[in-house]
Amino acid sequence: MSTLRFEALKQTFNRTTVKIEEPGRRSEIFGSNVFDLTTMKQFLTKEAHKSVTDAIKDGSKIDRSVADHIASGMKEWAISKGATHYTHWFQPLTGSTAEKHDAFFETTGDGSAIEKFGGGALVQQEPDASSFPNGGIRNTFEARGYTAWDPTSPAFIWGTTLSIPTVFVSYTGEALDYKTPLLRALQAVDQAATSVVKYFDKNVTKVNATLGWEQEYFLIDSALAATRPDLQLAGRTLLGHAPAKGQQLDDHYFGSIPSRVLAYIMDLEIECMKLGIPVKTRHNEVAPNQFELAPIFEEANLAVDHNSLIMDVMGKVAERHNFKVVMHEKPFAGINGSGKHNNWSLSTDTGTNLLAPGSTPMKNLQFLTFFINTIKAVHDNEELLRAAIASASNDHRLGANEAPPAIISAFIGSQLTAVLDELEKVTDGKLSPQEKTELKLNVVGKIPEILLDNTDRNRTSPFAFTGNKFEFRAVGSLANCANPMTVLNSIMAKQLIDFKTEVDKLIKDEKMKKDDAIFNVLREYIKESKKIRFEGDGYSDAWEKEAEKRGLSNNKKTPQALKVQIAEKTIKLYEDLKVMNRVEVEARHEIELEEYAMRIQIEGRILGDIARNHIIPTAIRYQNVLIKNVRGIKEIYEEHYKKYASEQLGIIESISTHIAAINSKVGEMIEARKVANKMEDAEEKAHSYCDDVRPYFDEIRYHCDKLELLVDDELWPLTKYRELLFTR
């Protein structure tokens, strides 16, 4: 008997639900572990408080002496909450968060000790950064990295550590993290959008991008997960036969949440409340043991931090409940994978959502301006958006008939399609008073203020308008949202800058009225961006053909999808907006290619190990049982034995065939890896891993899964899909 698997199952059957007490009204504990503006009022002088408020609002610098004061207030607050350590919390390009804890505690030299935390330690730190991915930036410049306080995202206490959100940059100023380019992109879109909003509303002084993410994940019992080296090391199963019952009955989606899971979610939600993460919805997802969690949307930088933080918190809270959180985009073949929808919009400091229709024709023209510019931005940069969501793990999902395809398109619904069709007919040049009245009454004025309830939903679109925001649905569940948010806000910033230039030119050169000029530019954008709009079934083969005809990209695999990141057009876009310079862009591209190759390499090694050292020996053991059985039958029936042993003989032969195939394919895969490993060029290597190594995975898996069906269940060492997915 395979002891580990059955021991783990036994443990799982004996689990009890952890009892969770609500610590009080959630609204009362919300943000209790966050050093937010309200808390700051208690601990800071008026002057210091204003200094932080200004830094948040317009990015103004915080004076060093004020920083000292803020640090001391922050320390007092943190210690009063039981914190003993502090850390600069940042998001290196590894995809997870990084932290190095230092104690407040310091000795004074006379045998006693005090708690100390100065402005210097708040503002800047120097982690030993040499082992974070940097794409050659630090080697080239021989510079070290340092972290610097981001006052726009408040400090928080997690466990007993005061965590200070920071950017991570090299001494020569290049970004080494996700946050730095995101902050620059958000600033770019703020400036560009604010100047466009001024056509409609002079009172607006700032525009924030908003993000509401929806995190999907699987919960697997930790004992069961521990029996699977693939889940432990690669975050997904590399083999395993499909269970008899999967998700075909659709009986999990929105079903009642199992009690052990509900206890976990409640525990997690309470932690989120304290950390100021406004989680709001929880439900079962499509696949068995798959769930989703979503907060109320927030300013994009804060929302990104909250998503990075929650991914960490989810894992830690899961330990208390004996669960492993699996966030991989495709942990189980044949079962739905996980995504992270990024709901995105732009919102003014006067409280207007720029992607929500309004109550007057003028407000609707403002809405249409931002709406059409978004579509144009997506049209002009579809490949870059695709690149923003590319990863080895998301490749399993995109285009795999359950998730949006690798083709980027925008869905807007029939009502807005009709509006754009009308706007396309607007006269070239100045509009007559009648035409304008007609437009305002019957087109722009007819957009219902509440589109939310009557917009059609298209679940197959990677970028769908959902009434008052766009939903970027192709983002992977493991992804750091900063990457797609940097791209989306950058392309929008560029688009709005171009729009403003064109409108102003018509006003100046053609002496057009402001709304005539706006209508004229929008009309052209509608025409130019038509091919990105698609209302049909994004999962269908017909769409793939149609998209090809339209000239849209369809980059199914990461190395191919990433290429556009270093196109001259992309570098110019980022340089013009000051989001990233050439060195930063190229470094990131290289890091992503390297990461891709490493992920496939790791999976290849794990699969080789499981196949040769777990599956083959198990198959031989079972084959020996059969051989013994056949020998016994022969002893009894002599020359007639074949009549009674034919099935066994057949299985013995099948097992041998599968073993031979596994062994030779693993050997070939190892050779292919050796070839790839010798490649110096990151791009060449990533392609080699993609095209020459990865295809072996399916072949090896096929034979392993066949053996799973042949071999005695009692001998099988790996916890099976039905056990992983239906135990809770």
Residue nearest Mg ion by beta-carbon distance: 341
- How many CA within 13 A on the CB side of residue 197? 25
Tell me phi and psi for residue 402, to 5 degrees.
Answer: -145, -25
Question: Shortest distance, CB of residue 287 to ligand ADP, whole angstroms?
Answer: 18
Q: What is the DSSP string of 568-618?
A: HHHHHHHHHHTS--HHHHHHHHHHHHHHHHHHHHHHHHHHHHHIIIIIHHH
Nearer to Mg ion, 214 or 305 (CB): 214
Shorter beta-carbon distance to Mg ion: residue 461 or 554: 461
- How many residues are present in the chain? 728
Question: With CB cut-offs between 5 and 8 Å by kind, which of Mg ion, ligand ADP, none does residue 436 bind?
Answer: none
Q: Which does 348 bind (CB under 5 to 8 A by kind): Mg ion, ligand ADP, none?
A: none
Q: Which helix (H) or strand (E) holds 341?
A: strand 340-348
Q: For the window 292-331, what string marks contact with Mg ion as x by the rule CB under 5 A? A: ----------------------------------------
Residue ranges in contact with ligand ADP by CB under 6 A? 210-212, 214, 294, 296-297, 343-345, 353, 466, 468-469
Q: Which is nearer to ligand ADP, 343 or 366 (CB)?
A: 343
Query: Could you tell me the smallest distance in angstroms from the CB atom of residue 216 to ligand ADP?
Result: 12
d(Cα 329, Cα 393) in Å, to the nearest integer? 6
For the four alpha carbons of 129, 135, 139 and 142, in that order, the dihedral sign comes to negative
Cα 655 from Cα 710, distance rounded (Å) = 8
**692 closest CA partner among 719, 717, 674:** 674
Alpha carbon of 592 to those of 69, 199, 311: distances in Å? 40, 40, 20
Place of tokens 């030299």: 109
Taking the complex as a whole, the smallest distance from the CB of residue 449 to ligand ADP amounts, in Å, to: 15
466 or 688: CB nearest ligand ADP: 466
Nearer to Mg ion, 283 or 614 (CB): 283
Residue number, 211 or 426, with CB nearest to ligand ADP: 211
Nearest to 712 by CA among 607, 572, 618, 648: 618
Tell the smallest beta-carbon distance from residue 469 to ligand ADP (Å). 4
User: Which has the closest alpha carbon to 117: 176, 35, 31?
Assistant: 35
Of Mg ion, ligand ADP, none, which one does residue 353 interact with (CB within 5 to 8 Å by kind)? Answer: ligand ADP
53 binds, options ligand ADP, Mg ion, none, Cβ within 5 to 8 A by partner type = none
CB closer to ligand ADP, 283 vs 612: 283
Task: Determine the Cα–Cα distance for residues 526 and 404; give it in Å rounded to an integer.
Answer: 24
Q: How far is the CB of 469 from Mg ion (least distance, A)?
A: 10
Distance CA(365)–CA(357), nearest Å, equals 9
Full 3-state SS string of 672-701: HHHHHHCCCCHHHHHHHHHHHHCHHHHHHH
Residue nearer to ligand ADP on the CB measure, 127 or 357: 357
Gap between the terminal Cα atoms of the chain: 23
Cβ 297 to ligand ADP shortest distance, Å = 3
> Nearest residue by C-beta to ligand ADP?
212
Least Cβ distance, residue 470 to Mg ion (angstroms): 11
Q: Which of 464, 340, 481 is nearest to 397 (CA)?
A: 340
Work out how close the CB of 214 gets to ligand ADP at its nearest, in angstroms, rounded to a whole number.
Answer: 5
Task: Report the nearest approach of Mg ion to the CB of residue 341 (Å).
Answer: 4
Contact 346, 189 (CB under 8 A): yes
Beta strand segments in 57-198, E? 85-89, 102-103, 105-107, 113-115, 124-125, 145-149, 156-158, 161-170
Which partner, ligand ADP, Mg ion, none, binds residue 11 by CB below 5 to 8 Å per kind? none
Scored b (16 or more CB within 10 A) or e, 449-479 reads eebeeebeebebbbbbbbbbbbbbbbbbbbb
Nearer to ligand ADP, 94 or 468 (CB): 468
- Distance separating alpha carbons of residues 422 and 415, to the nearest angstrom: 11
DSSP label at 63? P
Considering the complex, state which of residue 1 and residue 450 has its C-beta at the smaller distance from ligand ADP.
450
**Nearest distance from residue 281's CB to ligand ADP, in Å?**
7
CA distances from 682 to 385, 389, 605 (A): 22, 19, 19
Q: Give the one residue of 341, 376, 523, 563 binding Mg ion; rule: CB under 5 A.
A: 341
The item of ligand ADP, Mg ion, none sharing an interface with residue 468, based on CB under 5 to 8 Å by kind, is ligand ADP
Q: Which is nearer to Mg ion, 274 or 341 (CB)?
A: 341
Q: Shortest approach of ligand ADP to residue 299 CB, angstroms?
A: 10
Min dist. Cβ of residue 345 to ligand ADP (A): 4
Look up residue 14 and give its two tokens. Answer: 């004996």
Question: What Å distances lie between residue 434 and 357, 431, 506, 516, 657, CA to CA?
Answer: 23, 8, 21, 13, 80
The pair of structure tokens assigned to 697 is 């995975």
195 binds, among ligand ADP, Mg ion, none (CB under 5 to 8 A by kind): none
Q: For residues 697 and 613, what is the distance between their CA atoms, to the nearest angstrom?
A: 16
- 427 interface partner picked from ligand ADP, Mg ion, none, CB below 5 to 8 A per type: none
Q: Which is nearer to Mg ion, 397 or 588 (CB)?
A: 397
Residues binding Mg ion: number (CB under 5 A): 2
Rounded Cα distance between 445 and 437, Å, is 10
Question: Residue 297's binding partner, choosing from Mg ion, ligand ADP, none, with beta-carbon cut-off 5 to 8 A by kind?
Answer: ligand ADP
Please say which residue, 37 or 296, places its beta carbon nearer to ligand ADP. 296
| Among ligand ADP, Mg ion, none, partner that 212 touches (CB below 5 to 8 angstroms by kind) | ligand ADP
Minimum CB distance to ligand ADP smaller for 475 or for 616 = 475
- Rounded to the nearest whole angstrom, what is the least distance from the CB of residue 24 to ligand ADP in the complex? 24
**Of Mg ion, ligand ADP, none, which one does residue 154 interact with (CB within 5 to 8 Å by kind)?**
none
Toward ligand ADP, which CB reaches closer, 343 or 348?
Answer: 343
Segments in 300-349 forming alpha helices (H): 300-320
- For the CB of residue 215, give the shortest distance to ligand ADP in the complex, in Å: 10
Phi–psi pair at 141, nearest 5 degrees: -100, 0
**Residue 472 carries which side chain, given as an amino acid letter?**
F
Picked from Mg ion, ligand ADP, none, the partner binding residue 135 (CB below 5 to 8 A depending on kind) is: none
**Longest Cα separation, the chain:** 105
Work out how close the CB of 467 gets to ligand ADP at its nearest, in angstroms, rounded to a whole number: 7
DSSP-derived secondary structure letter, 404: -
Enumerate residues 192-251 that contact Mg ion by CB under 5 A: 214
Of ligand ADP, Mg ion, none, which one does residue 344 interact with (CB within 5 to 8 Å by kind)? Answer: ligand ADP
Instruction: State phi, psi for 565 to the nearest 5 degrees.
Output: -60, -30
Asked whether 235 and 242 are in contact (CB, 8 A), the reply is no
469 binds Mg ion (CB under 5 A): no
Q: Which is nearer to ligand ADP, 297 or 332 (CB)?
A: 297
The CB-of-528 to ligand ADP minimum distance in angstroms stands at 26
Residues that bind Mg ion (CB under 5 A): 214, 341
